[in-house]
Structure 1
């Protein structure tokens, strides 16, 4: 077979192969919670540890996709997305702590001799109000921050530094016991959600399926935006913002919309992360967490939507292995990975795959 004909067949098979792989991955993810419901002695049983680990990684995949929307398409490198993720987690954690406490105060408040709930805890015994907080708290913070940042035309490295300072300030605030969020211990010891035991196999399976649905919905929304006129304007903001303004567009509204949407997606991911992992504390706001998210996107290939999912899965899989086998070397491995990607894989793993398809 001559080379042009082989290339033509490969190009025709490409979309079909990609779709087939997506279907296989989706089938595996949807089968995992069902296999978790099988008896523990069954050969196909998926353990609670495996289901929790994969569910946690899927939540990180949503964060990677959200960051790709602002960095890959709008050119805004955020080093503060860990803050939005943690805020969504804390909003859900407040509800879970109220469920565990019943009519009393959460355990950490009793330990610190609090006499009553702070005003910002009012209504958190309601699941619907908790969901509103999951969306509103990171969304409003992103709206206020983005409004002033984009109005001042802050971009590039200055924008990255400001987002990193924002998440660092949030971490320091939540570390303080008097803020009413559990200090450095955060929230843990959750018992139920919507009346169901949080460690029950059925509850774990439902949370996992909800995470898969959130990831699928976020991916669909991302592709819909990327292929629309809005997505083309975002890429113009990234590549030639001054020229776009000369054409009569105001980029501030486009950047603010995608920035707030990205923050809300991170908040939803955090809300599903907390009941599956069973803890939320200020370490999730650490600047290193947001930097890791940037590594996920860079490794997978920014501006591709699918690439960041691949990067998040690969890096967190490596992290799970390193922190058990060689915990003291993980940060060195992460730094080396980032350097290799920067020097040799500027378009990430997706770019490497595309390069292999060329003649």
Structure 2
């Protein structure tokens, strides 16, 4: 009964509206691209399908950051690293799928390895010829890195700005490492020139539409998972950690364990977003590790509304839509516009677009409910002597 109750709480009215809109997008975008004749007013060009798919990948990435920042108070400035690692895992599979169709015609070595005179495939590339293995690595590699990083950071009680700085240092170190040719990941050019995925041509309209639908499904699944987590008892503990960590620790909760759990889960969601991003964009390179990218993710969440999940998705769509327009019309002022947007949101819309639409007090009300729950649970624990 408890599990059923959690599922019902996860699918709120707002969640239902969000999921309905997502389903409509998953239906309309492929139909407008594949079924409506080219040249028609309602025809959606193929590049727009890939662009919207990229936006949904960013939305899933923003969701992962909101899970830890909005509900646990962990401001990570390194989530771009987990996103990029997931992207590289899928990119390695797509490179293996090219086979002898590459420029140099080598059936085993990717073109960049042939160019650099590599004699054999590195050990860490073995297994990536399998699609399930690549998907597993897109989950495990970011998850294991987040677990190891979080284990040391949270046990040492590193919090606040110090945690943000070391997460940014982590992604910067990875960026420098992946830029090196001897690492075996394509150096500064990264991985590109993909041909197909699961036998489907990546340049065909049907494949692009299919990837969009899969990305929409992943976003829906990620949203429901996050909503289930924050609606559970563990979710109330996470909110309490965000707003009163010392008090939560005093009540007997292992704060480090909750932080480690949500941080690892968030990294795995970011990895899946990266894995879906790579085939739709057609390239993955070390620039995805850039610390500026991780900072931009935080801006998406802040603009949409921290601690709302749906707001994170909205923020990712708004900011990236604006980025597409500004970089096309006024590319030289985009970074200034982004900085100004963050300042305006911080000063005048602390709860973002969604908070502005629904009124103030969302985070505060959630914190009060979480602390009340924990105090009652703490009293019961002392009463039972457990």
Q: Fold-level match, TM-score > 0.5?
A: yes
In structure 1, which of residues 121, 128, 134 is the aligned counterpart of residue 132 of structure 2?
A: 128
How far has the Cα of 1:48 moved from its partner?
1.0
Q: Partner residue of 2:80?
A: 82
Question: Which consecutive residues of structure 1, in runs of 5 or more, have no partner in the other structure?
Answer: 1-14
1:111 aligns with 2:115: yes
Partners of 1:84 and 1:266 within 8 A in 2: yes
How big is each residue's C-alpha offset from its partner over 1:256-311, in whole Å with a ceiling of 9 and x where there is no partner?
A: 01100000000000000000010100111100000000000111110000111111
Alpha-carbon distance between aligned partners in 2 of 1:290 and 1:26, rounded to the nearest angstrom? 28
Q: Partner residue of 2:365?
A: none
Tell me: CA distance 1:276–1:305, structure 2 relative to 1, closer, same or farther (3 Å).
same
Look up the SS of the partner of 2:43 in the other structure: coil
Q: Partner residue of 1:247?
A: 251
Alpha-carbon distance between aligned partners in 1 of 2:329 and 2:147, rounded to the nearest angstrom? 42
1:264 aligns with 2:268: yes
Alpha-carbon distance between aligned partners in 2 of 1:160 and 1:145, rounded to the nearest angstrom? 12
1:326 aligns with 2:330: yes
Q: TM-score, normalised by structure 2?
A: 0.86
In structure 2, which of residues 294, 313, 320 is the aligned counterpart of residue 316 of structure 1?
A: 320
Tell me: CA distance 1:196–1:182, structure 2 relative to 1, closer, same or farther (3 Å).
same
Alpha-carbon distance between aligned partners in 1 of 2:161 and 2:96, rounded to the nearest angstrom? 41
How far has the Cα of 1:129 moved from its partner?
1.1
How far has the Cα of 1:16 moved from its partner?
6.0
Q: Partner residue of 2:27?
A: 30
The CA RMSD measured in Å over matched residues stands at: 1.7
- 1:276-287 matches, within 5 Å, as 276-287=280-291
Tell me: CA distance 1:217–1:18, structure 2 relative to 1, closer, same or farther (3 Å).
closer
Alpha-carbon distance between aligned partners in 1 of 2:14 and 2:259, rounded to the nearest angstrom? 34
Look up the SS of the partner of 2:244 in the other structure: helix
In structure 1, which of residues 219, 231, 238 is the aligned counterpart of residue 235 of structure 2?
A: 231
Alpha-carbon distance between aligned partners in 2 of 1:310 and 1:73, rounded to the nearest angstrom? 17
Partners of 2:94 and 2:197 within 8 A in 1: yes
How far has the Cα of 1:191 moved from its partner?
0.3
How far has the Cα of 1:31 moved from its partner?
1.6
How far has the Cα of 1:18 moved from its partner?
7.5
Partners of 1:101 and 1:107 within 8 A in 2: no
Alpha-carbon distance between aligned partners in 2 of 1:163 and 1:28, rounded to the nearest angstrom? 34
Partners of 2:179 and 2:187 within 8 A in 1: yes
Q: Partner residue of 1:354?
A: 358
Alpha-carbon distance between aligned partners in 2 of 1:55 and 1:228, rounded to the nearest angstrom? 30
Q: Partner residue of 1:97?
A: 95
Tell me: CA distance 1:340–1:234, structure 2 relative to 1, closer, same or farther (3 Å).
same
How big is each residue's C-alpha offset from its partner over 1:285-342, in whole Å with a ceiling of 9 and x where there is no partner?
A: 1000000000001111100001111110000001001111111111111111111111
Tell me: CA distance 1:205–1:349, structure 2 relative to 1, closer, same or farther (3 Å).
same
Alpha-carbon distance between aligned partners in 2 of 1:16 and 1:284, rounded to the nearest angstrom? 35
Q: Partner residue of 1:61?
A: 59
Question: Which consecutive residues of structure 2, in runs of 5 or more, have no partner in the other structure?
Answer: 1-11, 101-106, 362-386
Tell me: CA distance 1:56–1:17, structure 2 relative to 1, closer, same or farther (3 Å).
closer
Q: Partner residue of 1:175?
A: 179
Alpha-carbon distance between aligned partners in 2 of 1:85 and 1:18, rounded to the nearest angstrom? 25
Q: Partner residue of 1:3?
A: none
Alpha-carbon distance between aligned partners in 1 of 2:319 and 2:166, rounded to the nearest angstrom? 25
Tell me: CA distance 1:326–1:120, structure 2 relative to 1, closer, same or farther (3 Å).
same
In structure 1, which of residues 129, 139, 143 is the aligned counterpart of residue 147 of structure 2?
A: 143
Alpha-carbon distance between aligned partners in 2 of 1:312 and 1:259, rounded to the nearest angstrom? 20
